[in-house]
Chain A
Amino acid sequence: MSAVREHTVPRPARRRPGRTPPPPAAGRACGDRGGPWPYLLVAPAVLGMLYLLLYPLARAVLISFQDFRLRELISGNARFVGFANYRTLLTDPRFWTVVRRTFLFMAVNVVLIMAIALLVALMTQRLGRVWRTAVLSSLVLAWAMPVVAATTVFQWLFHSEFGVVNWALTSLGFDSFERYPWFAHGTAAFAILVTLVVWQSVPFAAITLYSALTTVPAELHEAARIDGAGAVRVLRSVTLPMIRPIVTLVWCLEVIWTFKAFVQIWVMTKGGPGDATTILPVYAVQTALSSQRYDLGSAASMVTVVLMSGVLVLYFRQMFRQEGEL
């Protein structure tokens, strides 16, 4: 699909390594040389990135080194306190519990998403036209479901008294689920949030992996099969290596997107019951906007960013290797 198309289409102007400006091509009347135009064209985008991204980020770093509470928010002139906020944070056992929970949440989600998505993608590839359309359409529909709407629906599905899940489980003979209050138990609430995030994330991953699978030449499969490879062997030695770059990219994205579960968590449980569903972004916002400790909240946000950046680097390396050039 478009991933493939772009690779095969030769770029009209391929840059040389070493960034030496190429000789002006004859016939290219304008545009290839500098002038103010390109800068004017990218100016709004650059300004937007500076003011709406870089500035808030710098501000968050700044606040994380200041004593910044409600008083400072109103009157300004906050005092610098060096690493005091980070010290407070890193010596707080609650913070470490939240960090551990964040990693658990991320691991469970990503493993489930990748496994299910790969299965669905492989299955979709083997389906006939009608079934394939049906599966892809329903994936798209689940994908299109707005986050807040899906969260609300899941709350209704798992409602203790009239929820259809409790009804189904009770009918299947699990009597302990009669009026089971899912959102009152930490582990159960955690499990529901994982289910919700997986349900919302699988469609994108499955569709992307499926489009990657369709780019694997069928001749390769045939050749492997003629050489006597079984289905598992073909999958392991031919298909997976071929789509590995895309798998890595999707994996990275899903890891990073774990933090977006902030919305589901905030709408569904606000981090509760107790602390059972509090992951890092939730913790940061709670600390800052509910307890007015903007300094500690910013510090927690910066820790989140640092944790994320490892995966981000991996993601960019993989992407640029695939892209070849910018």
Chain B
Amino acid sequence: MSAAHATGPVRRTPAAQLRRLPLHAGAALTVLICLFPVYWMAVTAFKPSRDIQSADPRFVPHAWTLDHFRTAVQADGFAQFWRNSLLVTAGAVLLSLVVALGAAFAVARMRWRGRRQFVLAVFVAQMAPWESLIIPVYIIARDTGMLDRLATLTLIYFMVTLPFTIIVLRGFIATIPAELEEAAQVDGCTRLGAFRRVAFPLLAPGLMATSLFGFITAWNEFAYANFLIIKNQENRTLPVWLSSFQNTFGTDWGATMAASTLFALPALVVFLVLQRHVTSGLAAGAVKG
């Protein structure tokens, strides 16, 4: 990375270290502000209720308890909502990967009339104003009997993630030299076989970045899940459950934080494990692709 700022094992004089003090203070502040809400959520979830409802908050709890997690897990339908979220997320991600892979291949490797218009449409679709489409989608779903169904959510999340997936995969496919596949074809592979054996493995980082994005989008989505699942409460997903959790559990902040922790955990773990791909791939990809 930036070699200009000597970051290696260079010994710094005390004066130089002093000069870098504001920098490190700023860094420490950034870390603190980023992490504190997450830390506070987890710590509150593990604290006994009397410590939570005290005028003097403890930053490191002296007693730990799993009671709040028990309350959250035993709450009505917890397993059901967890399963719903998982189903919808997995369905949307898989569907979007399959559809996007085909489209990205056609765009990056084939020449056809309308290709340019299609790419333009995908770029526009990526910026679709989903917040402004809740009303018509609700009405359409109602007219076609698709309200209260997980399939509806799956379809919508698929559409939300599809454009980004196409854009990123297209970029990845374009950087794989077509000659590699051609060589495989000369050696007797079919076109599909050549793609599967040669290009597909090289696509792994792209597939990972896009499924990560799809996972986060679908796992988090609240608005559509809230307004399209109305009567059949069994089909709610975790974010909606969490948002109503407070109403059910009112002042039980320990349980609410435990529920939040359980809901946030998959996303946090996935992000941390794949951090390097996230920072480079997703950041650059989301801006341009």
Q: Enumerate chain A interface residues (CB-CB to B < 8 A).
A: 1-3, 5-6, 9, 11-13, 19, 21-22, 27-34, 37-42, 44-46, 48-49, 52-53, 55-57, 59-60, 63, 73, 119-120, 123-129, 131-132, 134-157, 159, 161-162, 164, 167, 199, 203-204, 207-208, 211, 213-214, 218, 221-222, 246, 249-250, 253, 256, 259-260, 262-263, 266-267, 281, 284-285, 288-289, 294, 297-298, 301-302, 304-305, 308, 312, 315-316, 319, 322-323, 326
Contact = CB atoms under 8 A, between A and B. Distances in A.
22 contacts: A38-B115, A44-B103, A45-B122, A48-B159, A49-B121, A138-B34, A138-B35, A141-B34, A144-B268, A149-B263, A152-B242, A152-B260, A153-B38, A208-B283, A211-B280, A260-B131, A266-B222, A284-B132, A285-B227, A288-B134, A289-B135, A315-B127
A312 B129 CA distance: 10
A13 B109 CA distance: 9
B2 A294 contact: no
Contacts of B145: none
B136 A145 contact: no
B182 A27 contact: yes
Interface stretch (B21-29, B65-73, B75-83, B196-204): B21-29
Contacts of B281: 1-2
Interface of B: 1-5, 7, 23-24, 26-27, 30-31, 33-35, 37-38, 40-41, 44, 52-57, 99-100, 102-103, 105-107, 109-113, 115-116, 118-125, 127-129, 131-140, 142, 155-156, 158-159, 162, 166, 171, 174-175, 177-179, 182, 185, 191, 216, 219-220, 222-223, 226-227, 239, 242-243, 245-246, 253, 256-257, 260-261, 263-264, 267-268, 270-272, 275, 278-281, 283-288
B220 A147 contact: yes
Given A57-B136, A218-B3, A12 B178 contact: yes
B260 A149 contact: yes
Given A49-B159, A294-B139, A326-B120, 6 more contacts: A39-B112, A73-B139, A134-B31, A135-B31, A153-B40, A267-B222
A218 B2 CA distance: 7
B131 A32 contact: no
Contacts of B26: 119, 123
B102 A162 contact: no
A157 B155 contact: no
B135 A146 contact: no
B40 A156 contact: yes
B155 to A, nearest CB: 6
Contacts of A137: 272, 275
A6 to B, nearest CB: 6
Contact of B44 (A132, A138, A156, A250): A156
A22 B111 CA distance: 10
B34 A203 contact: yes
Contacts of A154: 37
Contacts of B271: 140-141, 143-144
B279 A150 contact: no
A48 B283 contact: no
A83 B2 CA distance: 57
Contacts of A38: 106, 110-112, 115
Contacts of A285: 134-135, 227
A125 B136 contact: no
A125 B113 CA distance: 45
A319 B123 contact: yes
Contacts of B253: 156, 159, 162
A156 to B, nearest CB: 5
Contacts of A322: 288
